[in-house]
Structure 1
Amino acid sequence: MSIDFSADKPIYQQLIDRITGEIIKGHVKPGDKLPSVREYAVEVGVNANTMQRVYKELETMGITETKRGQGTFVTEDSIRLEQLRDEVKKDLVQSFLTNIESLGFSKKEIIEHIQNGEWGEKG
């Protein structure tokens, strides 16, 4: 299952986002073992070196732990995982606000729209 990567962001970052998204959604749980670097690289259609960088970054971020001879596992540190959730949420909101403001909408308009429950509805 190869992934269609976008050209506006490095592939390794898109893979980090994908894995952290799966953790946040609960599809990958604390303590779960991730596929090996080679397995994951084949699965998503990237070079093993790219996948190695992804795993290294995730470990540096405190999202995963590598156990020698056993593999890479999602951290069981609930505080760190809650921080990850908050970081992703803040990044998404900031990106949304930047994009919406660039179109000329005010924060007040957006807040009113959200408070009125007017998202996801088609006219």
Structure 2
Amino acid sequence: MFQIDLTSRKPIYEQVMDKFKQLIIKEILSADEKIPSVRELATQLTINPNTIQKSYRELERQGYIYSVRGRGNFVSNKIKKVDEEKLNKLKQQVQNSLSELIYLGIEKEELIELIEKTYAMIKGGSRDD
């Protein structure tokens, strides 16, 4: 399904969460699609099942997945609205980065091309990735 970087400074449970978020946002995993059980994924990635369980709990708390007792975990069909504070913080970071790029001499057309390319890369993902 995906790989975990065991040498990364980022905790493994966060890496698992990030990978699932990417798959959900890119719509590689569709709404109501079953995701691997804790045991299956732990075996597949050769990591502790408690780590996977922690990731799944946090993904459920954030609204990315939901669990059905006795059936497993599924991709949520309604991802909760993004935290307004986090959204504003990210917008500010983008604005700061854009300001720096403009200061360094990047042209407007190049900025627009960069944004469009990034958008296409994220939204244009396929199930074959």
Report the AA paired with residue 55 of structure 1.
Y
| 1:1-123 matched pairs, under 5 angstroms | 3-77=4-78, 80=79, 83=81, 91=90, 94=93, 106-109=100-103, 112=108, 113-115=110-112, 117=113
Q: Give the match's secondary structure for 1:26.
A: coil
**Alignment deviations for residues 1-58 of structure 1 (CA, whole Å, 9 cap, x no partner):** 7533342211111110000101111110110011100101111221100000000001
Change (3 A) 1:37 1:63: same
Contact 1:33 1:73 in 2 (8 A): yes
Identity %: 32
Where do 5+ consecutive residues of structure 2 fail to align?
A: 118-129
In the superposition, the TM-score normalised over structure 2's length comes to 0.66
Change (3 A) 1:8 1:34: same
Contact 2:66 2:74 in 1 (8 A): yes
Where do 5+ consecutive residues of structure 1 fail to align?
A: none
Report the AA paired with residue 76 of structure 1.
N
Q: Give the match's secondary structure for 1:72.
A: strand
RMSD: 3.3
Counterpart Cα distance in 2 of 1:10 and 1:28: 23
